[in-house]
Chain A
């Protein structure tokens, strides 16, 4: 019987592993299409339905019967005005699932699987984002907030792809060669006296070397922060940030006091 327990555990392990591999390959291919779409997404800013329409078409086609998909598509598009008919249906679903560019919003969450936290701030069409694991992984992203999604770039091929959903930003982020996924809720009203969750940044000079710290402060008051030495270098060495005192907004680091400020898409320097 103990052997049965061991073997069933091993079988379960293999099963979960295969399931993880399958889900990874599907999300990887999904993000692959997302990674190629920033060009189209940014150029078609005025048409938020364009990217959901193209995204929805391949998603529904394989799941529904192959026969019905072409017939429904060909029935609507040639008969009626060729662009309006297919355009309205996805637009309706798009407005239900995807919001337009928020004028100003912060999204904060830990990534799926934990171990890292991400913060995104959109402000008047500009976006800044940060991911860190409180240790060796930290990456800043900057870009333009486009309708339908955010496609931000960082150093060394770091990428962030996000879709707006109702009250959330959902997407994937590449940092330090690892892909993280997340679904970050928008930061809502904050109780008086509590520091607002979001992306905090501080810079300073230690022994003649500039340092840049970033903290993701989560809605429950939890935080993850990393410090980059010589942040303008190609691959800045990164370490754990000192705890950010949420009452004073400061942190003690190597004998100096870092003064952190909540940054937005406009004020954030990015990388």
Chain B
């Protein structure tokens, strides 16, 4: 009854089965976000962060790293649009897949030290709207990214899941950038 070979009747079952595959990745992603948030809230922020030579302060290091991650995230969205054929008169070159994979890896790996620095040095804070939004988005980002990575190799998912997951991750990252690096540069000045 449920697994009919008939294509027309199996479509909704495929859909529900496909969505069922999202449950475990979503739970794991939620757990990641929750763990980061709880750690950031319970751990007493040290205020001490590692600085890198050549930068005025660690705030600039983090802001530039966040900017680099956001730039690579823009590459992510652009390459995904090309891959999905959403950009008129642009045919996907053979290396677009690699570009998408590596820009994503770099963006993620660049964002990780920033997040560790935030959670360890500053913690999950709520003292202003910007800080609250940033804290929430920061935890949500790694949850959403985990979900996207976990559903990536799964087959038989509805076609909209991966673009949606990617769009959520990108939107969160841009929100993070605006509530951190953009604010930081506009408050303290744009330099190293």
Contacts and interface: CB of A to CB of B under 8 A. Distances in A.
Contact of A179 (B47, B101, B112, B128): B47
Nearest to A173: B47
B45 interface: yes
Interface stretch (A62-70, A112-120, A159-167): A112-120
Given A5-B149, A113-B121, 20 more contacts: A1-B101, A1-B153, A2-B148, A2-B152, A6-B149, A13-B115, A16-B112, A20-B46, A20-B116, A24-B48, A112-B49, A113-B48, A113-B49, A113-B58, A114-B184, A135-B127, A179-B46, A220-B188, A222-B189, A224-B187
A2 B149 contact: yes
Given A20-B49, A114-B57, A222 B146 contact: no
A218 B49 contact: no
A240 B62 CA distance: 24
A8 interface: yes
The range of chain A's interface size is: 35 or more
Contacts of B116: 13, 16-17, 20
Contacts of B171: none
24 contacts: A2-B148, A2-B152, A3-B150, A5-B104, A5-B105, A5-B149, A12-B109, A16-B112, A20-B46, A20-B116, A20-B117, A20-B120, A23-B48, A28-B48, A111-B57, A113-B58, A113-B122, A114-B62, A115-B59, A115-B122, A135-B131, A178-B46, A179-B47, A181-B47
A269 interface: no
Contacts of B113: 12-13, 16
A2 B48 contact: no
A252 B177 CA distance: 30
Contacts of A224: 187
B11 interface: no
Interface of A: 1-3, 5-6, 8-9, 12-13, 16-17, 19-21, 23-24, 27-28, 109-115, 133-137, 177-183, 218, 220, 222, 224, 240
Contact of A20 (B48, B59, B62): B48
B155 to A, nearest CB: 13
Q: Which of A2, A112, A114, A115 has the most CB of B within 10 A?
A: A114
Nearest to A177: B44
B108 interface: yes
Interface of B: 44-51, 57-60, 62-63, 101, 104-105, 108-109, 112-113, 115-117, 120-122, 127-128, 131, 145-146, 148-150, 152-153, 184, 187-189
Most interface-central of A3, A13, A112, A220 (chain B CB within 10 A): A112
A8 to B, nearest CB: 7
Q: Is the interface of B mostly helix, strand, loop or mixed?
A: helix
Contacts of A134: 128
A135 to B, nearest CB: 4
Contacts of B57: 109-114, 182-183
B51 A2 contact: no
A220 B60 CA distance: 15
Contact of A3 (B46, B122, B127, B149): B149
Given A1-B101, A112-B49, A113-B62, A222 B108 contact: no
Contacts of A135: 127-128, 131
Contacts of B62: 113-114
A12 B48 CA distance: 19
A56 B57 CA distance: 25
A174 B121 CA distance: 14
A31 to B, nearest CB: 9
Contacts of B60: 114
A120 to B, nearest CB: 16
B51 A112 contact: yes
Kindly name the residue among A13, A28, A134, A224 whose own CB sees the greatest number of chain B CB atoms within 10 A: A13
Contacts of A109: 57
Contacts of A112: 48-49, 51, 57-59
A28 B121 CA distance: 13
Contacts of A27: 48
B151 to A, nearest CB: 9
Nearest to B184: A114
